[in-house]
Amino acid sequence: MLEISNNVSLADWEIELSAIRAMGNGGQRVNKVATAIHLRFDIKRSSLPIVYKERLLASNDTRLSKDGVIIIKAQSFRTQEMNKEDALKRLKDFILAVMVVQKKRRATKPTKGSVQRRLTSKANRKTVKQTRQKINY
């Protein structure tokens, strides 16, 4: 069972974990042992609240397929257990990150002082560049 928050958790049957061989170079055991973890989580079939499902399906993350399945591949560690913990942690972090409400941006005007400083620096830059020009007689 994966605890997302105090009142939201995922059952073991909702998360599909499979062991695969890790990619990349390695030692003698790299082509023999399946230490990487391939995690699949189907959002539509899950027992998550509707708000979670809507936000997850609306996200533009590359780990989310068109079918509404989150796919995470964990192969950072040498042991299968550590990769499994890493994949579950990344799934939890992804779900929690989607639920964070972004703060509304309020449009503001620049202050008079900042506008004046910007225009002054532009004028100074203009004079520096004009002094570099070739002089025509």
Q: Contact, 55 vs 35, CB < 8 A?
A: no
**All residues at 6 or more sequence positions from 130 whose CB lies less than 8 Å from its CB, including other chains:** none
Tally of domains within the chain: 1
- What pLDDT, on a 0 to 100 scale, did the predictor assign at position 26? 64
**All residues at 6 or more sequence positions from 86 whose CB lies less than 8 Å from its CB, including other chains:** 37, 74, 76, 77
Q: Which amino acid does the sequence have at 114?
A: S
Model pTM? 0.70
What is the tens place of the pLDDT at every residue in 99-136?
888 899 999 999 999 999 999 999 999 999 999 988 88
- What pLDDT, on a 0 to 100 scale, did the predictor assign at position 121? 97
- Asked if residue 133 is part of any domain, the answer here is no
What is the tens place of the pLDDT at every residue in 35-85?
889 999 998 888 888 988 888 888 888 888 888 899 999 988 888 899 999
Full domain range(s) for residue 38: 2-99
- What pLDDT, on a 0 to 100 scale, did the predictor assign at position 27? 65
- Asked if residue 121 is part of any domain, the answer here is no
Rounded CA separation 78/83 (Å): 8
- Asked if residue 83 is part of any domain, the answer here is yes
Residue 137 or 58, more confident: 58
Of 70, 86, 2, 1, residue with least CA distance to 36: 86
Does the pLDDT value for residue 29 go beyond 70?
no
Rounded CA separation 133/136 (Å): 9
Q: Six-digit token pair at 113?
A: 């002082």
Rounded CA separation 56/93 (Å): 12
Of 41, 48, 87, 49, residue with least CA distance to 67: 41
Q: What is the CATH number of the domain that holds 86?
A: 3.30.160.20
- Asked if residue 108 is part of any domain, the answer here is no
- Asked if residue 116 is part of any domain, the answer here is no
